[in-house]
Amino acid sequence: MASVETVQGPVDAGELGVTLVHEHVRFRDEAVAEQWPERYDEQLELEAALVSVNAAKDRGVRTIVDPTAMFGGRDVRFMARVAEQTGVRLVACTGIYSYDHLPHYFANRDVDAMAEHFVTDIERGIQGTDMKAAFLKCAADAAGVTENVEKIHRAVARASVQTGTPIMAHSMPAVATGPRQVEIFRQEGVPMERVQIAHCGDTDDVAYIEGLIEEGVYVGLDRYGLEMYQPIDKRNATAAELIRRGHAERIMISQDFCATIDWFPPEAAPAFEEAGAIRNWSMTLVFDEVVPALREAGAMDDAVFETVFVANPARWLTA
C-alpha cells in the first residue's frame, strides 16, 4: 500500500489503524494569536490536546487526521509535540479555511499561484519543516460557493491534480454546497475517489447525501456532538440508513472536535452545553455512544467498523 505523510514522517497506509478522519488538536485564529499572544496559554492548549488525543488512543485510535488549515491556526510544530507525547499519528493538511474572505495577498494572485503554495506544503514541507501535507482543505459554508471560495476550490483541485493529493471540503448541507463543490473538482479533472465532502451528516436528507456518494466521493458524518446542526439520534439514523443502502465504503465518521477553540470566550462553553447546542462533544463520543448505538441498530458489525474507521481513511488518503 502507498505511504501517507504524517507529522512523524511517511507511514505505510496499511499501518494507519483505527483513524479519526476529522478532529482538531487546536483551533484558533492565527492573526489574533500572532498579534495578542498573551491571550492564549500554549501550555493549557497543549494539555487539552494531550487529554483528548490520549482519550482517543485509549479507545484504540492510532491516527488522527487534523484538517486545520490557514485561518484555523495550522501549526505543525504544535501538532508534532502532541504526536510525540501521545504516540498517536497526526496527519496535516494544506489549504485555506475561509467562507469567503481572502487576504489581499491571495486576492491579487491567481488560482495557479495559490495552488503553487499548496504544492510546496505537499512536496517540500510546511512552515519551514520537513513535515508534509497529506491532503488539501477548502470550505464552503452559509454564503455558498462565492467567487473567493470557488478560487480556493480551483486552487486546491489543481494542486491535487498536480500532486495526486486527496481533498477534504468543508460543506454546508443546509445550503446544499456539496454538488457545486463536486462540480468544480470535476471540471478541474480531480478523480472523485480523492474527494471527501465533510459535514454531510449535518442533514438527515439521505437522498442529498446519496446523490453525492453517487458522484463517487466520500461523505463525512463527522460532527457528532454538535447538536445544533443535527442531534446524535438523527445522525445515527442517517448513518445506519447509508450503511443499509450499501454505502459503508463511502462514509467517514468523526466529531470535528477541537481540543481548544478560540471562537468563543471560554466561559461560554457551559452555556452551549446547557442549551443543548453541544452534547458530549469530544474525541471519544463516536466510540462511547455512536458505535454502540449503530451496533445495537444492527447497522455496524466488526467488518463495517473496520471499513469505516480503518479502510476508508487509508483508501481516501492514498487515492
Which residues contact Zn ion by CB under 5 A?
A: 256
Nearer to Zn ion, 75 or 256 (CB): 256
Distance of CA 310 to the CA centre of its chain: 16
CA distances from 289 to 85, 254, 273 (A): 27, 12, 17
Least distance CB 135 / Zn ion (angstroms): 13
Q: How far apart are CA 250 and CA 242, in angstroms?
A: 9
DSSP helix, strand, coil percent of the chain (3-state; round to 5): 50, 15, 35
Using Cβ positions, the residue closest to Zn ion within the complex turns out to be 256
Q: How far is the CB of 67 from Zn ion (least distance, A)?
A: 5
Q: Which is nearer to Zn ion, 5 or 256 (CB)?
A: 256
C-alpha to C-alpha distances, 93 to 146, 158, 271, 304, nearest whole angstrom: 22, 15, 32, 27
Whole-number minimum distance, CB 300 to Zn ion, in Å? 23
In terms of Cα–Cα distance, which of 197, 112, 123 is closest to 164?
A: 123
Q: Residue 22 Cβ, how far from Zn ion at the closest point, in Å?
A: 6
Report how far residue 89's alpha carbon sits from residue 111's, in angstroms, rounded to the nearest whole number: 32
Nearer to Zn ion, 227 or 256 (CB): 256
CB of 1 or CB of 228, closer to Zn ion = 228
Q: Which is nearer to Zn ion, 45 or 256 (CB)?
A: 256
Decide whether 23 or 188 has the Cβ nearer to Zn ion: 23
Least distance CB 194 / Zn ion (angstroms): 19
Least distance (Å) between residue 30 CB and Zn ion? 15
Closer by beta carbon to Zn ion, 219 or else 300: 219
Provide the grid cell at 72: 484555523
64/209 with CB nearer Zn ion: 64
Instruction: Evaluate whether 200 touches 209 at the Cβ level (below 8 Å).
Output: yes
Q: How many CA atoms lie within 13 A of 228 on its CB side?
A: 8
CB of 198 vs Zn ion, minimal distance in Å: 7
Burial category of 302 from C-beta neighbours within 10 Å (exposed 0-12, middle 13-18, buried 19 and up) = exposed
* Minimum distance of Zn ion from residue 159's CB (angstroms): 19
- Conformation bin of residue 46: beta by default, left when phi > 0, alpha when psi is -120 to 50: alpha
Distance CA 4, CA 65 (A): 11
The dihedral over CA atoms of 258, 159, 154, 96, expressed in degrees to the nearest 10, equals 30
